[in-house]
Structure formats: structure tokens, C-alpha cells
Amino acid sequence: MARYARAMDWERARERLGAELIGARENVAARWRVALREAGALPWSIDGCAAELVLLAGAALADGAAAGTPWRKCGGLLRIDARHQGRGLASELSTLWRCMGNALAEITITVDEERQAREVLGAQMEAALRGASAEVRAALLDEPSEDETLVFGGVRALCWTHPLSDEAAERAA
């Protein structure tokens, strides 16, 4: 009976925490941009879809959906930087999910709620990182993913950022 009560408590907490995360999506996205700048990075790969990823992560938390749901359902723009082999993407995703975990930690009522919420977010982040890795391989190596659960739901863009030549830099100056 106690196990059932704990399960029901977590279900209510999960719904409440998911709704809170959905409501705080813009704030979490802003915190994410600040955290990246403090780390010496710029929001680039998922900048246009960070708030939507937070919204979808909150909805998946509230609904008890599969871990890959936010990544698969996101409708934003994913930019893969070919020059840096897409390395910034994993860093941006990890930082975004860390910011979501920190936002939830501020509103959890019990230690158990926080632990369970972080487990759910951790599984979501792992799925997003696997999906990002598959997207980078597909974009850079033309190696499509065999696992459809890893596919990003939005538009993908492979970007080559070339440094300006000396002549072009002089004209621009």
C-alpha cells in the first residue's frame, strides 16, 4: 500500500513539475544562454529551439512520456557546425538539461521528488545526446540513423563557417 501511495505522489509531483517547467521555459532558455556565455561559448546549435525543447521536456515529464520524446517532437532548427564536427551541440544540450534540472530543484518539495525528476531529465538528456550524435554522423558522414527514435523532429542545417581570407577581411574593414 505504501508503494502505491508513493507512486501516486510521484505521479502528481511529476505533473506539477512538468507544468512548472513548461511555464518557466523562457526563463530556463535565458539561464541556458547565460550559462553558455559564462563557459565561454555562444548559443548556436539549438538557440532557436531551446525554449521549445524545454517545453517538450516539461510535457514529457508531466505525461510520463518516453525519454526521446522532446528530441523527436521538437520543431525548431538544429544547426550542425561542420567546421567543429558538431561538438558544440552536445555541450549546448547538456547545459540546457542542467539548467532544467536546476530550475526543477528550486521547486521540488522533497528530496525524492528532486531525485526522480533528475532521473527523468537525465534519461531525456541521454536520448537527446544519442540523437544529436546520430544527426552529426548523418550530416557529416552521410550515415543515416537506423534508429528512428533518435531522429530530431525539426529542420537540420549543416553549416560550414569559413574564416575570411585576408583580402576579404581588408575589404570588410
Q: Is residue 4 part of a domain?
A: no
- Is position 19 within any domain? no
pTM of the model: 0.87
- Count of domains observed in the chain: 1
Alpha-carbon torsion (136, 141, 142, 145), positive or negative: negative
- Is 78 contained in some domain? yes
CB contact at 8 A, 108 and 17? yes
Confidence of residue 4 (pLDDT cuts 50, 70, 90): low
**What is the pLDDT at residue 78?**
95
What pLDDT was estimated at residue 5?
A: 53
Sign of CA pseudo-dihedral 141, 142, 148, 149 = positive
Range with the poorest average pLDDT among 2-6, 37-41, 68-72: 2-6
pLDDT at 165 exceeding the cut of 70: no
Cell matching residue 2: 505504501
Q: What is the mean pLDDT of residues 12-20?
A: 97
Tell me, what amino acid is at 119? Answer: E
In-domain check, residue 155: yes
How far apart are alpha carbons 109 and 101 in whole angstroms? 14
Give domain status of residue 71, yes or no.
yes
Count of helix runs (H) and strand runs (E) in the chain: 7, 2
Residue-level pLDDT at 28:
98
Does residue 11 fall inside a structural domain?
no
| Residue at 35 is within a domain | no
Q: Could you list the residue range(s) of the whole structural domain that residue 111 is in?
A: 45-163
Q: Is residue 82 part of a domain?
A: yes
CA 130 to CA 98: how far, in whole Å? Answer: 16
| 124, pLDDT greater than 80 | yes
pLDDT at 6: 64
Query: Residue range 13-17: average pLDDT?
Result: 97
